[in-house]
Structure 1
Amino acid sequence: MQLARRDLLKLLPALPWLSTSIPSIRPVPFALRFVVASDGHYGQPQTDFEKFHSDLVRWLNQEKLQKGLDFVIFNGDIIHDEPTLLYDAKTALRSLTIPFFVTRGNHDRVGADVWEGTWGYPPNHSFARGEYAFILGDTSNEKGEYLCPDVSWLRGELAKYSSKKGIFVFLHITPAKWTDNGVDCQEVRELLEKTPNVKAMFHGHDHNEDGGKMSGEKPYFFDGHFGGSWGTTYKGYRVVEVYEDGTWQSYQYNPTAAPIINTFVGKS
């Protein structure tokens, strides 16, 4: 007999992080299913960046066909330093059969006007899908500096979506010094962690991180990398599955080996 997902979660109150995923054949349907992929570094010298992108497009289009996929968020470092690569990177992603959104990383060294002219929205951006909201914050600039997000803007966006069932936040650079490449943004963390309907934060930047951290009872996720010259031994991405009963899970996906790792089970 299959357990309903809500009943299954009651059996795991102290074990949010699991090594494998809960089987996908569940009686509770998806409300949303999306992917976070980071650090494609389109154009980085001495890397096979065109293949990295074509592989990812193929994998994500398969996700859409096999399990369904609502959208993808590319969480920073779309390109590798050279501003003229931005249009080429966008072209490389045009074969995706699902919508996608982007955040600016420290290697996306273009101004806010160029960013908005390319993607159709500014570096600080948000959107909603049904009962859930998605906040994409800027953590760098044209110089490639490591920055904290604009806390005033972030506070306003969280207030705007206060009636939503859940909010997911995407910041290329982690707002904590958990890694060598993070930035200590205490005010940002406190704001996110005290907002009741914030479900999780997602970060790129640290190519060798594909798990997560907990702070203030909120998860902060990493997704390795799908491009670039260093990081985890595999190219992959993170999947988030939100269910109709308000529960959700996230796991890291490696398309070329034992595929599902670092699963987190979230409560409603």
Structure 2
Amino acid sequence: MTFQRRSFLKLLPALSGITYLSEPAKAQPAENITMRFIVASDGHYGQPGTEFKAFHADLVSWVNREKLQKGVDFLVLNGDLIHDEPTLLYDFKNTISNLSVPYYVSRGNHDKVGLDVWQSTWGYPTNHSFAKGEYAFVIGDTSNEKGEYVCPDATWLRNELAKYKDKKGIFVFLHITPSKWTVNGIECKEVTDLFENTPNVKAIFNGHDHDQDSTKIFGKKPYFFDGHFGGNWGTAYKGYRIVEIYQDNTWQSYQYNPTAAPVLNTFSGKS
């Protein structure tokens, strides 16, 4: 399978610490993959006027198929799990219980759930992190119980990134992008500066903007968007983003459309 990508790479020749390929990258076989994970966002479980149950059944089916075909270490559901009503959280959790892979969640602006309910439901707070092997994964909160847009806690982020300073790479997940380069982004200069000045931060993953499925560059860091798999607006397809880390310390991210012309916006880097 050959990956197709857009022409944004021509803007990036001077960036260091990341290897950009001059030709479209090709998939590496499963035996060369040391880690593979999926990022999906904006399912909006319970949104009136949408087929939200079918959207979630589709995602579960797609992820489980990926697990069988090429392997998946985990899934990150990057915010807007539900649509405004806190009582939907239990039904959402029950709906995704058929996933065959471990999963982690972030809070989005439509996840209007208090911190205590979030903790009791998921077993971790809205700001949390975990490590797997040589890599760390940091999941930050960008909203509150009222559904307001807020910058992630920069002090907490700074401490988490310092905790993982010896890891080969750190991947960060924030529902709302911390730069006002999309209609629904917010400006969080302290946060983007922090990422820029942390050498082993490899990428930041954002949801929230359903119509965004590409890669944006802030300084030397790639910010990935994954469209949506639910809701009533956004890209013409519903899909998710895949990240593959290889034995030779390179890694690759691409957006995936399960229904047609599947691979979009490939980005390749070196850890």
**Deviation at residue 16 of structure 1 after TM alignment:** 3.3
1:57 aligns with 2:55: no
1:196 aligns with 2:199: yes
**Where do 1:85-124 residues align within 5 Å?**
85-124=88-127
Q: TM-score, normalised by structure 2?
A: 0.91
**Deviation at residue 229 of structure 1 after TM alignment:** 0.3
Partner of 1:69: 72
Partner of 2:27: 23
Partner of 1:234: 237
**Deviation at residue 202 of structure 1 after TM alignment:** 0.1
Partner of 1:183: 186
**Deviation at residue 17 of structure 1 after TM alignment:** 7.6
Question: Quick one: distance in 2 between partners of 1:99 and 1:170?
Answer: 16
Partner of 1:79: 82
Q: 1:21, 1:260 within 8 Å by CA — same for their partners in 2?
A: no
**Deviation at residue 23 of structure 1 after TM alignment:** 2.8
1:206 aligns with 2:209: yes
Q: Which runs of 4+ in 1 moved over 2 A?
A: 13-21, 23-26
Match of 2:42 among 25, 30, 39: 39
Gaps of 5+ in 2: 1-11, 14-18
Instruction: State the one-letter code of the partner of 1:253.
Output: Y
Partner of 1:6: none
Q: 1:18, 1:263 within 8 Å by CA — same for their partners in 2?
A: no
Gaps of 5+ in 1: 1-12
Match of 2:144 among 131, 141, 144: 141
Once superposed, what is the RMSD of the aligned Cα atoms?
A: 1.6
Match of 1:165 among 158, 168, 171: 168
Once the two structures are superposed, what CA deviation does each residue of 1:148-201 show, in whole Å capped at 9, x if it has no partner?
A: 000000000000000000000000000000101001000000001110000000
**Deviation at residue 244 of structure 1 after TM alignment:** 1.8
Q: 1:19, 1:261 within 8 Å by CA — same for their partners in 2?
A: no
**Deviation at residue 212 of structure 1 after TM alignment:** 1.1
SS in 1 for 2:104: strand
1:251 aligns with 2:254: yes
Q: 1:42, 1:50 within 8 Å by CA — same for their partners in 2?
A: yes
Q: TM-score, normalised by structure 1?
A: 0.92
Partner of 2:157: 154
SS in 2 for 1:94: helix
